[in-house]
Chains A and B, each alone.
Chain A
Amino acid sequence: MELYELTLHELKDLLKKKEVSSKEVVKSFFSRIKKIDNKVKAFVTLCEEEALEKACECDQQQEYDGIAGIPYGLKDIICTRGVKTTCCSKILENFIPPYDATVARKLKEKKGILAGKLNMDEFAMGSSTENSAFFPTRNPWDLERVPGGSSGGSAAAVAAGEVPFALGTDTGGSIRQPASFCGVVGLKPTYGRVSRWGVVAFASSLDQVGVFSRDVRDCALVMNIVSGHDPMDSTSVDIEVPDYESFLTGNIKGLKVAYPREYFQQGVDEKIRETVKKALHKFEDLGAVVEEVTLPHSEYALPAYYLIAPAEASANLARYDGVRYGFRDFEADNVVQMFSKTRAAGFGDEVKRRIMLGTYALSSGYYDAYYLKALKVRRLISRDFNEVFKDFDVIVGPTTPTTAFKLGEQSDPLQLYMNDILTVPINMAGLPGISIPCGFVEGLPVGMQIIGRPFDEGTLLQAAYSYEQNTDYHTVKPVLGVE
């Protein structure tokens, strides 16, 4: 067993017992990265030198606790002081943040070691990581397939053993969908649970930072560190952060589990439906009460999302104007031309498409018909969930309608948006959701999504952990053909 194959908590225990040094751990992961990342292409920036320095510091101080001395990766949307943060866009290609995002600072303060920055769809807009301005990332389970997106680099890096954990962001499924495609754990916390300060904004009422890991315990450990109120983010909520590890009891007797009829209908691959149904039986075997429910407005979540998210994005991305940071077109001779040419050359197609859609939806004469209408539908979606949570503790369903598709296979924008059909409603309602491995279809991982009440990540982790500990899907690793 190589060190890079171990989970965060296993590494933590070895470090504590002084059986390995941080330097050995960091070296093991970097040799893994060197061996396989030319195939997986999860990283856009590597920080090897700094990582080894930090590891030596840890070894000198001999204070190993939590993530101390253990490497991790960050989606390249999370600002890191002195380390390029590009959003995988040409417009931010050379941007070096003068400060750390709150989540990056928290990991740093716990002496975690930043291994590098991870690939993503440009400005987190996409479901395949093919929209990265640099290169696409590959799925470690089948290099011809996409890892999902937008946090595809984060998911692929964790699945391939390049880092034990990583952070990503999720606006409409960008953590859970790639976690599902790559067979890892991916948690999108409640909106307001984790600070977004220093995380480049896409759609501010939906964006949330979350965790990728190889098992549920690791996810809980990282959530303990990154959660909590931040005075720098007025949408982060001042609600006490429990010790998430304490929820990992392995006991879910009497837990009330709902599965929505709408999540098991046409449009979701039959084999995926069967796989998740099997997982529901497992919950029953473990003593949970499982019942079918209805979320009647589910089918309206996606069209409403594709108004709200682009509308917010069009406002957020107005800041990329070539004045304060990023790329500028120097050919223009007046300022409006400079803005327009800078943005035309700096943004990729999908980003332009969403800016256009959002600007249209907010423009005079269309605001009520589109944007306001979508916000009203959002209320109806949120009410559906509230109704179910009166009687149930968690809601379970598939994370994605298909397993990972091939690169280039889905080129139509609307077809690509359909990937988010099961994850978007959760962002619209601001709820926490986790995707965990629950089986394979034709050798590709299938993810099960568990959705919880607001700020009840604890119960969600409790359910996920019980299932995981009674199955072994999380222990199966992709074979990359280079070992």
Chain B
Amino acid sequence: MISIREVEHVALLARLSLSEKEKEIFAEQLSTILDYINKLNELDTDGVEPLYHILPIYNIFREDEVKTGTSREDILANAPQVEEGQYKVPKII
């Protein structure tokens, strides 16, 4: 079972502000889903290497060359708040 306190902790980590009602629903739904997921414990996976992705590739490197990217103007066009060519956010500290 996932408790309301655990839901609150995870919601804080995920930066999601949840209503009291949502906390209750998620506690119940996440518990049901995790119960189902616990089926995985039927399998003995000792000594099995985890598979992160299927490609036989690791780090991909390229030359560090200067190229033309997207313009600052184009990128800032989607920002909710801009000032002097920068993103503007509420006070951090």
Contacts and interface: CB of A to CB of B under 8 A. Distances in A.
Partners in one complex: yes
Interface of A: 94-96, 98-99, 191-192, 205, 231, 234-235, 237, 297, 299-300, 303-304, 306-307, 314, 318, 321-328, 330, 332-341, 343-344, 347, 352-353, 355-357, 359-360, 363, 370, 372-380, 382, 413-414, 417, 429-430, 454
B75 to A, nearest CB: 6
Interface string B7-44: 10111111111100010001001101110111111110
A380 B16 contact: no
Interface string B47-91: 011111111010010100000001100110111110000010111
A324 B79 contact: yes
Contact of A356 (B30, B52, B75): B30
Contacts of A205: 52-53
B80 A327 contact: yes
Contact of A377 (B13, B43, B80): B43
Q: Which of B2, B37, B42, B62 has the most chain A CB atoms closer than 10 A to its own CB?
A: B37
Contacts of B7: 356
B47 to A, nearest CB: 9
23 contacts: A98-B77, A205-B53, A321-B15, A323-B79, A324-B75, A325-B78, A325-B79, A327-B80, A333-B91, A338-B90, A340-B11, A340-B17, A343-B14, A343-B15, A343-B17, A352-B22, A356-B16, A375-B52, A376-B45, A376-B49, A378-B50, A378-B51, A414-B33
Contacts of B2: 360
- Dominant secondary structure at the B interface: loop
- Interface-centre pick from A333, A334, A376 (highest chain B CB count, 10 A): A376
- Chain A contact residues, majority secondary structure: helix
A352 B55 CA distance: 30
Given A356-B26, A376-B50, A379-B51, A323 B62 contact: no
A413 B29 contact: yes
Contact of B53 (A95, A335, A339, A430): A430
B20 to A, nearest CB: 13
